[in-house]
Amino acid sequence: MKNIKKSIILTSSLFLLSGCALPFQSNKYPAWTTKGLLESYTLVDGRTVDGWMGLEVGTKVSAKWYDFTVNNIEELSEYSNYKASNDKKLIHATITITNTSDKDVYIFDGDFALVWNLDSEERKYVTSMDAFTDTMLKNETVIKVGETKTIDTVYEIDKNIEKPMAIYYYEQYSDGQKGNKYYIYIK
């Protein structure tokens, strides 16, 4: 009977606390960093999945196949001769990626999204613009074993969108299994 009570209390606590561990936060509850993955679990095949981590700009992320760091983020009206539309602004991020796996990895143009409306159930996001410079993220960018590349991502969003925002990366396995989510908060 004591074990049943303990189980009920533990389960109830987990449900109550799970709402506190949301990666999306509002201006009243600013986005926050975590000390490792939260809410992850390990599959039978050994893969750790379904967790999330909140980080700050400049912090190294050790994801499944590579380490990456969002080095800096800036708001611009123009990037490399591209001017934002009238009611828009540009968000530019520089990201350094090091392949830590034993195979070449492919980075895709949708891998690092910009999300906002973090306090809403209807969060908005956009992926990086199509590459128009040699340093911008291109679809199927190859990073060889042990290689490090620095890429630029550029997002065009409405001028009225405000912080907090986040650069968002979600691991995706080739068999369709979703991995872990990483949020690099822009406060």
Distance of CA 9 to the CA centre of its chain: 33
Q: Domains plus CATH for the chain?
A: 29-186 (2.60.40.1240)
Q: How confident is the model at residue 27 (pLDDT cuts 50, 70, 90)?
A: very low
Q: Which pairing describes strands 178-186 and 165-172: parallel, antiparallel, or unpaired?
A: antiparallel
**pTM of the predicted model, to two decimals?**
0.82
Is the pLDDT assigned to residue 12 strictly greater than 70?
Answer: no
What is the structure's pLDDT at 99? 98
What confidence category does residue 31 fall into, taking pLDDT thresholds of 50, 70 and 90?
low
Please state the separation of Cα 5 from the chain's center in Å: 39
- 44-56 pLDDT tens trace: 999 999 998 989 9
pLDDT at site 18: 37
Pick from 13-17, 18-22, 147-151, 170-174: least confident: 13-17
The DSSP string of the chain is: -HHHHHHHHHHHHHHHHHGGG-S---SSS-----SS-BS-EE-TTS-EES-EEEEETT-EEE-SSEEEEEEEEEEESEETTEEPPTTEEEEEEEEEEEE-SSS-EEE-TTSSEEEE-TTSSS-EEEPPPPP-STTB--TTEEE-TT-EEEEEEEEEEETT--S-EEEEEEEE-TTS-EEEEEEEEE-
With a cut of 90, say whether residue 118 has pLDDT above it.
no
Mean pLDDT in residue range 74-87: 95
Note the pLDDT of residue 70.
98
Compute CA 156 distance to the chain's CA centroid, rounded to the nearest angstrom.
17
pLDDT tens string 55-70:
999 999 999 999 999 9
119 or 166, greater pLDDT = 166
Task: State residue 22's pLDDT score.
Answer: 47
Taking the C-alpha atoms of residue 55 and residue 58, their distance in angstroms, rounded to an integer, is: 9
For the chain, give the percent of residues with pLDDT over 70. Answer: 83
Mean pLDDT of 88-114: 96
Mean pLDDT of 7-15: 37
Which of 29-38, 61-70, 102-111 has the weakest average pLDDT? 29-38
